Homo-oligomer: A and B are copies of this chain.
Amino acid sequence: MILQDFEKKIFKFIRDYKIFNKYDKILLGVSGGKDSMSLLHVMSKLSKTMGFEISVAHLNHCMREEADSDESFVRQTCEKLKVPFFSKKVDVFTYSKKNKVGVEVAGRNLRYEFFYETLRRLSYNKIATAHHMDDLFETMIYRILRGTGIYGLGGLIPIEEEITKPMLCVDLEEIKNYVTINNIEYVEDKYNYSLDYARNKIRYEITPLFKKINPRYKESFFRLAKIIWGYREEVKRKFEERSEIGKDSLKLKLENDFFDAEIIRIAFLKFSKYPPNMEETEKIIKMRNGGVRKINEVSITKKYDSLLVKI
């Protein structure tokens, strides 16, 4: 099978970051927009080369007139491509009101709930979403502005537990080009246009200015992201080396280096709790023997050169 440049790029990215292997069973999140239709076409082609299995999950948000016809469109494309298709209708507005979250967040929560549900039901092991390089650097900028350390600056990650993003290596221009060249049909997925305030400012006002300073600014962001993905791996290795996982607690060995702070943050994430900020983390590290701090429902006790972390 001959791969186009766009597909080769994604194939190389998948291989470099060990995103998929031939035994994987991958659920693709497909809204029907150009990003996810590209994902569907590329992954359908690569499944034949690489040997993995794919299915499609489409959440019908029932938020616009075209929602049902979008669903049919994705279903029919899947039939043509002989890819199993799963869908579900949800009521985003009710969820949004009930859980007091914005419509964007409600939609995302419901989407991932549905993806995980389907993943378990099919005994699949991976979810793939169509996030691309523009999403990546927009997230990086947003994180920098809102406040992030090095770990969080990685923005979107190619593979993290079940969730994969094999298209982070291609930008929106390349996607538009790919759908045009290959006559790939797609729906105008208005959710992409209803980005929130910050993302709109970044996409339509800030990045055009970036482009004036360096027309190849996307490469700069992508390269930095790759370096940070490597850094995250190093942090995770250090966490493995320096942590002992107990029944309902964690013991962390402090080594008086830069990674102490990162490892404390990972411990919070392991308990699904929001990690402390830089100043709080410093205070934890500097506690005297026997000292105790409680942050975000997690209690931390200093024992000589170790921390006992409990929920």
Contact = CB atoms under 8 A, between A and B. Distances in A.
Interface of A: 142, 144-150, 153, 197-198, 201-202, 205-206, 209-210, 212-214, 217, 219-221, 223-224, 226-228, 230-231, 233-234, 237, 257-259, 261, 277-278
Contacts of A202: 213
Contact of A209 (B206, B220, B230, B233): B206
Contact of A213 (B201, B213, B221, B258): B201
A145 B278 contact: no
For the residues of A in contact with B, the DSSP-based class is helix
Given A205-B209, A233-B258, A220 B142 contact: no
Contacts of A201: 209, 212-213
A158 to B, nearest CB: 16
Given A145-B213, A146-B220, 15 more contacts: A144-B220, A144-B221, A147-B219, A147-B224, A148-B220, A150-B150, A150-B227, A197-B213, A205-B209, A206-B210, A223-B277, A230-B258, A230-B261, A234-B257, A234-B259
A223 B146 CA distance: 11
A131 to B, nearest CB: 20
A201 B210 CA distance: 9
Given A153-B224, A206-B209, A214 B146 contact: yes
A234 B238 CA distance: 14
B145 A228 contact: no
A146 B213 CA distance: 8
A234 B214 contact: no
Contacts of A227: 149-150, 278
Contacts of A230: 258, 261
Given A198-B213, A201-B212, A213-B201, A223 B258 contact: no
Contacts of A234: 257-259
Contacts of A150: 150, 224, 227-228, 231
